[in-house]
Amino acid sequence: MAKDQAVSGEGGRKHTLSSTAILFIFLVVMVAAFSALSRDFYSIYNITSMLTNIAFSGIVAGTLTLVMIMGGLDISIGGNIAFTSCLVAYLYNLEKGPATGIIILIALLLGATIGSFNGFLITKLDLNPIITTLGTMAITRGMGYVLTKSRSILILENVVGFIGRGTIAKIPFPLLLFILSYVVLTILMGRAKFGRKIYCIGANQEAAKLSGISIQKIKFLTYLISGIAASLSGLILTGQSAVGMPQHATGVELDVITAVLLGGTSLGGGKGSVLGTLAGVLILGVLYNGFTMIGFRYVHIRVFQGIILILVVSLYEVREKKSY
């Protein structure tokens, strides 16, 4: 797939692609190292469960890549996920509550609403995306607390659980969603007109506007997609944990941004790739899982995460300067 992309010609392709290749090599080295250090690491069971665990944040990292390539940002992801899980659990425990299918639909509609709200403020009122989504982040997480009265709501008879724990042909459902979302997003950004317009807006919004690209429409849709993806992640997390609670996914937006930046997308926009983000997500997943396996504690691994982010991003900077 990587080779195929090299021919097409996307924004900043040459740099991001070769950087992506380096990231995947780094990933393979990490996997090899952890396999050597821990017998438990390299097993189908562990790898599958690791991938299933990162599925929920991986999906939103994929859609956040779109937002960031466009030069925007969405930090309402975590709040959105938490609110979705609370709403799902709340509806589930209502006497005469709606059917599961309806609940799932409502959950996705909630994400769409939050995404549209962000998109509306950012396009129509021209608000800064960081400020806007910082606002919706607080609103959504706050609403989660209000709705659940700050408690966790268990979901006992869990049909939503299929989204979190079910399997199709022995493959966990979240993992399927994870893979499917990256296939769709890679095609979207690599080959679709919509994705090309996102790159154009991120690279030079003024030039995109003069080229007849509808900035407002593309931006709105991109934030809408990010919102829907967050509620999908909320459904997965709710299913996996069998509980709806407002503390879910606290701080996940920062981890997701870390993964996107690791993948070579720049904060300024115009550059990056979904494949790069996939590498970023996997590296972070392997980092946590692997170090845990060989006996490090979570707090230590957080330090490593910070170091790796700074190292990799410095590397991008150096390569960038050299190429001119």
Among residues 31, 263, 242, 267, the alpha carbon closest in space to that of 157 is found at 242
Q: Is 295 in a helix, a strand, or coil?
A: coil
Buried residues in 34-43 as b, exposed as e (16+ CB within 10 A)? bbeebeebee
Give the residue from 85, 207, 83, 202 showing the smallest Cα distance to 155.
85
Q: What single string gives the DSSP state of each residue in 145-160?
A: HHHHTT--EE--S-ST
Identify which of residues 160 and 198 has a Cβ nearer to another protein in the complex.
198
The residue behind tokens 């994705």 is: 195
* CA-CA-CA-CA torsion sign (175, 75, 279, 20): positive
Cβ nearer to another protein, comparing 248 with 271: 271
Location of structure tokens 């080959």: 191
Q: Site residues (CB under 8 A) for another protein?
A: 7-14, 187, 191-194, 196-197, 199-200, 203-204, 206-214, 270-271, 323-324
Strand partners, 190: none
Q: What is the DSSP letter of 272?
A: -
**Tokens standing for 30?**
């990490």
Closest CA to 240 of 167, 162, 175: 162
Alpha carbons 62 and 12: distance in angstroms, whole number = 18
Q: Are 256 and 59 in contact (CB under 8 A)?
A: no
Q: What is the per-residue burial (b if ≥16 Cβ within 10 Å, else e) of 174-208?
A: bbbbbeebbeebbebbbeeeebbbbbbbbbebeeb
Structure tokens, 144: 């989660």
